[in-house]
Amino acid sequence: MSIVTTSGLKKVYTVGDTTINAVNGLDLAIEKGEFLSIMGPSGSGKTTLLHLLGCLDVPTSGTVSIEGKETGDLKPTALASIRREKIGFIFQEFNLLPVLSAVENVELPLRYQKVKPAERRRRALEALAKVGLSERANNKPGQLSGGESQRVAIARALVTEPALVLADEPTGELDTTNTVRIMDLLRELNKQLDLTVAIVTHDPMVAERTRRIISIRDGKIESDKAA
Ligand SMILES: Nc1ncnc2c1ncn2[C@@H]1O[C@H](COP(=O)(O)OP(=O)(O)O)[C@@H](O)[C@H]1O
Ligand SMILES: [Mg+2]
């Protein structure tokens, strides 16, 4: 089953009298259980594409379908509920709230889903265990290393059991050792939980650890191959 498909997807930005075709006619299907990377140089449209796939942004033209359902006609509240229920996001800068402990950060998406406190805590601790950070549950982000912070962010992305995890340069702030650890962890979660993961990166070391590499340039697919 396709988790997400796009057809003729375009995103055009207009700045003054310049037009930027950030995503420029892109057809793509991501199947359940895939572990793939979207590679390309800076400015090639990776982040724009990821935001369109995750319903964080709306296309200028073309379509995005999530689990077979077209999203083009949906109202902002319906798009927000797709994001909340179906998608887990991981960012380069981790985006953890500094005043909350690790477990409270992981609980946040469940709060938005109005899950009750006791169940929220139980599921957040379970997600932290999956990323090997049970012993750091009560630490605040300032007390965690970059690698640990990203593992907390991965737990936060997993805790809602999303259909699709989208990661934007998830190892961009990490050294080589932690990059390899994070990639190994994502691959393990992909295998054990049948988690569908798409990782945007410009780092060949990250891409070569995935199972499929989609290269984009100027908002178009340049190549798409099994790795
Ligand atoms: N909000 C925006 N307004 C105007 N131009 C943008 C905006 N976001 C991205 N762009 C432009 O779109 C192109 C693709 O950007 P982006 O998707 O961020 O690429 P990447 O993530 O591959 O570096 C770039 O030329 C960028 O400058
Ligand atoms: Mg980017």
Taking only the tens place, the pLDDT of each residue in 144-203 is: 999 999 999 999 999 999 999 999 999 999 999 999 999 999 999 999 999 999 999 999
- CA 220/CA 25 separation, integer angstroms: 6
CATH superfamily entry for domain 33-55+76-226: P-loop containing nucleotide triphosphate hydrolases (3.40.50.300)
Q: Find the residues whose C-beta lies inside 6 A of ligand 1.
A: 13, 15, 20, 22, 40, 42-48
Q: What is the pTM of this model?
A: 0.95
CB 128 within 8 A of CB 137: yes
Model pLDDT for residues 83-102, shown as the tens digit of each residue = 999 999 999 999 999 999 99
Q: Judge contact between 63 and 29, C-beta under 8 A.
A: no
- Among protein residues, the one with the nearest Cα to ligand 1's atom 20 is 43
Q: Ligand 1 center to residue 23 CA distance, Å? A: 9
Report how far residue 46's alpha carbon sits from residue 4's, in angstroms, rounded to the nearest whole number: 16
- Residue nearest atom 12 in ligand 1 by C-alpha distance: 22
Q: How many CB atoms lie within 10 A of CB 216?
A: 24
Q: How confident is the model at residue 43 (pLDDT cuts 50, 70, 90)?
A: very high
The SS3 of residue 155 is: helix
> What's the rounded Cα separation, in Å, for the pair 81 and 72?
14
Ligand 1 atom showing the smallest separation from residue 202 Cα: 22
Q: What is the CA radius of gyration of the chain?
A: 17
Contact 90, 167 (CB under 8 A): yes
SS3 of 139, please? coil
Domain residue limits, the chain: 33-55+76-226
Query: What is the residue with the minimal CA distance to atom 6 of ligand 1?
Result: 13
Q: Which of 12, 23, 38, 47 should be mutated for ligand 1, with most atoms under 8 A from CB?
A: 47
